């Protein structure tokens, strides 16, 4: 597959984002939550498109000097093609431009593909949030202590 085009999310992308979210997560965000992110002054919201179709998205917030990667998902049929890596790389670059010096995220315990992706950027496991997902599954807290320039 050709490298996807990554653009800032807009209203026209929201329904496709919500569909990917619903497929990727047991407790998906509501459509309205994604719509609100379009105007969040602390947020960054990108979509990856291939042949005009949204195949992935990523959200982060910058709070003071910390980036919080809130949500990253890629359509099942496009996982493993580098889209998630491209989205995370762009989030880190753009959050650094907004003044973030470090980054954190939560990832479902046992999601080795995602954990491996984040480790490849230098994120380290820092703890667990018990029953974070659906009141059942634990989340691994990960930190990148210095976003590289």
Task: Enumerate the active-site residues.
Answer: 106, 118
Cβ-contact 97, 77 below 8 angstroms: no
CB atoms near residue 40 (< 10 Å)? 12
* Residue whose token pair is 């202590």: 145
Cβ-contact 74, 58 below 8 angstroms: no
**Is residue 118 classed as helix, strand or coil in its secondary structure?**
helix
Partnered with residue 105 across adjacent β-strands are: 69, 142
């Amino acid at each position: 597959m050709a490298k996807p085009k990554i653009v800032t999310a807009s209203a026209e992308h929201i329904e496709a984002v919500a569909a990917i979210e619903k497929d990727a997560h047991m407790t998906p965000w509501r459509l309205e939550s994604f719509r609100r992110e379009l105007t969040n002054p602390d947020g960054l919201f990108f979509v990856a498109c291939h042949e005009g179709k949204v195949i992935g998205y990523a959200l982060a917030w910058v709070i003071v000097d910390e980036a919080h990667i809130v949500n990253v998902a890629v359509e099942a049929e496009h996982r493993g093609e580098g889209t998630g890596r491209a989205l995370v790389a762009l989030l880190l670059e753009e959050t650094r431009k907004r003044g973030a010096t470090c980054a954190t995220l939560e990832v479902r315990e046992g999601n080795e593909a995602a954990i491996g992706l984040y480790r490849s950027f230098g994120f380290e496991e820092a703890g667990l949030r018990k029953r974070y997902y659906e009141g059942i599954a634990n989340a691994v807290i990960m930190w990148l202590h210095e976003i590289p320039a």
